[in-house]
Chains A and B, each alone.
Chain A
């Protein structure tokens, strides 16, 4: 492997981190409110609303059931509208967020569901408003579970980002496709795969460590 390829891989790592971290952040920016809405409007939630719950739930499910590669192509016009181009790292972030946000929303919803209903009842009895219950009780009590979800979302988005390499997205996925698949350079592909594995491992371990440290339920 020559120096040029090493440079390309280095650049790929940076691009991958950029895409995945930015996409995870945006996905959470959209996913947390949607997850909260799904949780509180459910029949056992603090503001049950059948119509909102079913509508939001339906849209979430529709987007989640579209395979990522197809979604990526299908929303190309939308991507162009937002970032002005359909190739490169920025263009990959848009479909990544669209694909990951509903998935994140469902994970947030299930994390919030784990919060003990008795604690929510106590918060109500103390005179909390719905908004106060959301940001002082639900999101805080579910923090460890939300973080575990964050680690899972990160690994999933990393996996999606590699697929974007097929349609001109950047990052390690693009390198693996361009060198490993189109030019039969198996060694380059193996290296990128190894790097992806290492990234997932590091994030998974660091995430779980952080959760254990932050979760006050563990002595």
Chain B
């Protein structure tokens, strides 16, 4: 659907040249939800802007549906852009237009009649669940509602791709969930290919099929989300995964074992088995399980029991092919002392 070939983008800041995107090649498949994650300053936003040429790459090629965008005329490029919707962190709604006026804007550009545009806009308002806000102005809406209007506006011209640039970063966790499930619904029901830019692992976790990890302009890793969670290869992905863990619950400070579940194994009563096998009252220090892309994924921290039990647990987990990790508490104790 979207193909980037050796895309590089450099900016001149006074005397220095900054490479925001460094030789990135990506292939985004039709119908998937593709995440691009990285810490701030990694070049994700510049990269996504190269996909609709809001930023012109310094070198490399950008293909949309097999068409070389850099070779398109201005008029052709504008037509392609109508097939590539985009939503932003700050929503970027036209403040002087009503909700319905905003959704009609891209249709006006296409020369759709006022009446037909309004009809289409009303349909979309139903999709984003804001049918009653038609005549409101953006300033009268909450952040989540504004993003829904932005989504409706981006969908007005029936795009094949929707680019989401930190679309939920300005929203609270509950609103984020709502917007993400709307994006997922659009992907499933309308078949729109979606590119999600984010710095939060939980966003990737909730909706993405595949993810690219970006750091300092370079894509370090591209893989299925599940694989990145279970087996983060690059330093950046490791940091991103653990940053997310710290946010979701207190890290165990005692000696513990981290058991990693993936789809299949989580359907078996692992924890109950462990208790029966070791005959020890095992203590759960923390747990975090969620449904990712239809299969359950999660991790469980248990307090480290006596050595004999640890041996039994390890044997059992290895036999069941379940990933685990022994957590060394010493580092954490040192951190505590410093405080």
Contacts and interface: CB of A to CB of B under 8 A. Distances in A.
Interface of A: 116, 118-119, 121-129, 132, 136-137, 140-141, 143-144, 215-219
B109 A125 contact: no
A217 to B, nearest CB: 5
Contacts of A129: 74, 78
A217 B92 contact: no
A216 B92 contact: no
Given A116-B95, A126-B86, 12 more contacts: A121-B54, A121-B92, A122-B88, A125-B54, A126-B82, A126-B109, A127-B82, A128-B78, A128-B109, A132-B109, A140-B96, A216-B137
Contact of B88 (A118, A140, A218): A118
B81 A116 contact: no
B255 interface: no
Given A118-B88, A216-B139, A217-B139, A127 B96 contact: no
Nearest to A218: B139
A138 B165 CA distance: 23
Contacts, number: 79
A143 B96 contact: yes
27 contacts: A116-B95, A119-B92, A121-B54, A121-B92, A122-B88, A122-B92, A123-B94, A124-B54, A124-B81, A125-B52, A125-B81, A126-B81, A126-B86, A126-B105, A126-B106, A127-B78, A127-B79, A127-B81, A127-B106, A128-B109, A136-B108, A140-B96, A141-B96, A216-B95, A216-B97, A216-B138, A217-B95
B140 interface: yes
A216 B140 CA distance: 9
A4 B323 CA distance: 103
B139 A127 contact: no
A61 B92 CA distance: 34
B334 to A, nearest CB: 45
B219 interface: no
Given A122-B88, A124-B54, A126-B106, A141 B139 contact: no
Nearest to A215: B96
Contacts of B77: 127
Contacts of B98: 216
B109 A140 contact: no
Contacts of B154: 126
A219 B136 CA distance: 10
B309 interface: no
A118 B140 contact: no
Contacts of A121: 54, 88, 92
Contact of A118 (B84, B90, B108): B90
Contacts of B37: none
Nearest to B154: A126
A219 B140 CA distance: 7
Interface string B139-158: 11000000000100110010
Contacts of B150: 122
The list of the 3 closest CB pairs from A to B, nearest first, reads A122-B92, A127-B81, A127-B78
A215 B108 CA distance: 22
A119 B140 contact: no
